[in-house]
Structure 1
Amino acid sequence: MEDKNFHIILREQLELKSLNVQKLASISGIQERYIKAMLEGDAEKLPSLPYVRGYVIKLADCLKLDGDELWALYRKTYNFKTSGAKDTLPKNRFAAKTISKSKIFAVFAVVALLLYAGTQFNRLAGVPEITVRNPASANLISVTEQTFTVSGSINPENKLLINGENTVSGADGSFSKEIQLQPGINTVVFKVSRFLGKETSVVRQILYQPE
């Protein structure tokens, strides 16, 4: 093998194994233009030496030749010398880069801040909730006493109006209020609102029938 030039050996091997450029490119994964350049002995059309070495080793594998011998012949044919540690592939600019701990911390801090902001926004601007425990039923109820105590619970940060009157809830959000009923059907409107104006209303009706 050493008595002939690289491109001559390559041509002979293709003829011996009944291969053409297209088929060799298909089985080796090397572009046809690079294989043609090797067959023509035109090293100027080939990429940098580290890439060419990979191509030569791959061709040797496809042609059942010794890769090291074929590479040595290539260097001898074109008078290339190895450059030691410098004869390596260039760095992959698409490779994943190491992220510093400070950047990771900053990302987590931003995510935590966004989650907190979302929670606070929902607390201030979301739809408020109210639970009316007395009267619990939305259906009309009948009573015989004029004084009736309504009760329930809300978020203590929200504002509560019962029939338009401000009602203060306890620290746990519970509330109660005595209402003086009029004979007949009495409508009680519970309206709870949040800081940014969202409201929820609940209506109860009480039929007062004096004995």
Structure 2
Amino acid sequence: MDNNEAKISELLGQLMQEHGITVEKLAFTTNIPHRFVAALVNGDFKRLPAKPYVGGYLSKIAAALNVDPTVLLKAYKESTEIMRSGENDKLPVNRFAIQNINKNFIIVFLVVILVVGFLSWRMKDILGTPSLRVSLPETTLVSQEQVIKVSGQVSSGDQLTLNREIVYTDEAGAFEKDINLTPGLNTLEFDVKRFLGRETKVIRQIFYEEQLKPIVE
């Protein structure tokens, strides 16, 4: 129980304990409604009726407990004044709390704006469709060399694979790779993926004509 509201309640509790009187017995003896006696004993002043009624109740209680009525009336007055003072004292605290809430809200709001702005700026790099350029023509290339060099360009940060094997790029996204061809038609499937975004596939074909060595000179 709040000490500011406990002065009259502590005094009543002490007197009732000395005389061995319960709330029920005190209410019955004084003919005061039980809820009002309990409110005084518990310091729950908001449940009490108007002051004139409370003054009359305290006088009856004082007579039942054989105590000077002015003692109880003074204790009740001081307790209610302290309670009202305590309520007024809360105003600066509440204003300070509101200021803290507003300050925290502004900080969170600014952080959200920065994050949204950054994501909007990087949206294309994160969610867009990746680009891919390779040095091979779209039509089938015929080669008589078993090993050819393939180069190209992707956006920095995108992941590139060739026939499901990772191809590493430099910081600018450029790449080069030697391809070991097998006789006949070779299919090269380039696949570039963007983080949280789409993927782009490019397929190129190379026909390797193996040069046969003469069996006679």
TM-score (norm 2): 0.43
Report the TM-score when normalising by structure 1: 0.45
More helix by share: 2
